[in-house]
């Protein structure tokens, strides 16, 4: 069972443009994303109520969307407006319409009861369209359950092992030997730590203190900042969150969207603000891409092992599992109290 009472990233804002209807699958539900001529976003079940052809193969007509199998036209409430060849419109079940919004470069779809959709619950990210940042983005699909990816993102101790030659090399490591502060926030967890007196970068040995903090929010949104300061700042702040201007300021924003039980779409963007020269973006993006390929390799291998040994799923716990254990509990709690749109047990 998925958490429905949630905004899920369905696509990048720039993917849905002009008259293109983008068909995606979220929580095993086919969803068609499109815009009206004025740019207004719409999300509708990507299955015509008539015979279940995908509306994403249809076309936008004014405020409406037309199925291009038999030509039925639906208004923005999902109600049938036109049946070629006639017949009573009320005989056609409405197509489900999903609340949809866009923020920070992403299109967010509410998968629960529409009346519960609250835009205040959209996690706040940095934004691809924030002019203060140089950002670059991509996405990839995992053949794995989304919670394995969430686990991965809740516990960055793996950087020292999975990413020893990529992110570990670039950041100087120490992710598994330092213990971040973990706290509960609304619909998520906050993870913060200082890396003290590490080289600025692989090519610059000048030591700096780096503040690394991220929120991980339901259903799987990762928003991280990484700020470097001159050596001694961590101690001067009593190892709390710094308030001064950093020397460099890097950001990551990522979102994990379940396609189905064992397929997941992973959206990510990386970048920094103008304290660093734009020309560094390509190199950093390359490292991040390589690192995500490493994650994909090990997580998909983990998924396959889980599938081949379903009878032995008692795992062991280590202290670094604290954050992911909390996040899993929080997800279970949110699921336990949700009112579901559908009444089936899946």
Distance CA 90, CA 345 (A): 29
List, in sequence order, every beta strand (DSSP E) within 186-262.
Answer: 188-201, 204-217, 221-230, 248-260
Q: Does 346 bind its own copies (CB under 8 A)?
A: yes
Q: Report in angstroms how near the CB of residue 264 gets to its own copies at its nearest.
A: 15
Q: Report in angstroms how near the CB of residue 237 gets to its own copies at its nearest.
A: 23
Q: Report in angstroms how near the CB of residue 83 gets to its own copies at its nearest.
A: 5
Q: Any long-range contacts for 229-236 (C-beta under 8 Å, 24+ apart)?
A: 231/196, 231/197, 231/207, 233/209, 234/194, 234/196, 234/209, 235/196
Q: Does 87 bind its own copies (CB under 8 A)?
A: yes
Distance CA 119, CA 103 (A): 10
Q: Are 109 and 103 in contact (CB under 8 A)?
A: no
| Angle made by CA atoms 31, 34, 35, in degrees to the nearest 5 | 155
Q: Does 284 bind its own copies (CB under 8 A)?
A: no
Instruction: List binders of its own copies among 16-35 (CB under 8 A).
Output: 25, 28-30
Kindly list the distances between the CA atom of residue 195 and the CA atoms of 84, 143, 176, 211, in Å, as whole numbers in the listed order: 66, 33, 12, 6
Q: Does 84 bind its own copies (CB under 8 A)?
A: yes
The SS3 of residue 176 is coil
Residue 204: CB atoms within 10 Å: 9
Give the closest residue to 46 by CA, choosing from 54, 36, 58: 54
Single residue of 4, 5, 102, 151 touching its own copies by CB under 8 A? 151
Q: Point out which span in 34-42, 48-56, 133-141, 242-250 binds its own copies (CB under 8 A).
A: 48-56
Q: Point out which span in 199-207, 237-245, 264-272, 298-306 binds its own copies (CB under 8 A).
A: 298-306
Q: Does 67 bind its own copies (CB under 8 A)?
A: yes
Q: Report in angstroms how near the CB of residue 119 gets to its own copies at its nearest.
A: 27
Single residue of 36, 63, 69, 137 touching its own copies by CB under 8 A? 69
Tell me whether residue 120 or residue 305 sits nearer to its own copies (CB atom).
305
**How many amino acids of this chain bind its own copies (CB under 8 A)?**
59
Distance CA 24, CA 260 (A): 11
Q: Does 319 bind its own copies (CB under 8 A)?
A: yes
Q: Does 277 bind its own copies (CB under 8 A)?
A: no
In the 8-state DSSP scheme, what is residue 100?
A: E
Under the rule (CB under 8 A), what is the footprint of its own copies? 25, 28-30, 46-47, 49-54, 57, 67-72, 80, 83-87, 91-93, 151, 155, 157-158, 160-162, 176-177, 179, 260, 297-298, 301-302, 305-306, 308-309, 311-312, 314-320, 342, 344, 346
């Amino acid at each position: 069972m998925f958490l429905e009472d949630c905004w899920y990233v369905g696509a990048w804002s720039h993917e849905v443009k002009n008259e293109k209807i983008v068909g995606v699958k979220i929580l095993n539900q086919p969803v068609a994303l499109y815009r009206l001529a004025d740019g207004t976003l719409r999300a509708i079940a990507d299955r015509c109520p008539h015979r279940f052809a995908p509306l994403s193969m249809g076309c936008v007509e004014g405020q409406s969307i037309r199925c291009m199998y038999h030509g039925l036209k639906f208004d923005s409430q999902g109600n049938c407006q036109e049946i070629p060849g006639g017949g009573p419109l009320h005989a056609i079940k409405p197509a489900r319409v999903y609340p949809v919004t866009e923020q920070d470069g992403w299109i967010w779809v509410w998968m629960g009861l529409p009346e519960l959709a609250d835009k205040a619950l959209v996690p706040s990210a940095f934004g691809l369209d924030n002019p203060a940042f140089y950002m670059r983005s991509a996405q990839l699909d995992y053949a794995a359950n989304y919670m394995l990816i969430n686990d991965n993102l809740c516990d960055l101790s793996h950087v020292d092992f999975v990413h020893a030659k990529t992110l570990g090399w670039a950041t100087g490591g120490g992710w598994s030997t330092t213990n971040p502060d973990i706290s509960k926030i609304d619909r998520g967890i906050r993870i913060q730590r200082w890396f003290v007196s590490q080289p600025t970068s692989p090519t610059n040995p000048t030591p700096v203190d780096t503040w690394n903090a991220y929120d991980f929010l339901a259903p799987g949104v990762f928003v991280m900042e990484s700020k470097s300061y001159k050596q001694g700042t961590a101690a001067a702040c009593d190892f709390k969150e710094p308030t001064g201007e950093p020397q460099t300021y890097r950001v990551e924003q990522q979102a994990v969207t379940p396609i189905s039980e064992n397929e997941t779409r992973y959206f990510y963007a990386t970048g920094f603000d103008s304290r660093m020269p734009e020309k560094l973006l390509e190199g950093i993006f390359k490292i991040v891409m390589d690192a995500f390929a490493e994650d994909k390799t090990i997580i998909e291998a983990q998924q396959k092992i889980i599938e081949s040994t379903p009878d032995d799923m008692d795992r062991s716990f280590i202290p670094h599992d604290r954050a992911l254990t909390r996040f899993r509990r929080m997800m279970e709690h949110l699921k336990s109290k949700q009112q579901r749109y559908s009444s089936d047990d899946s």
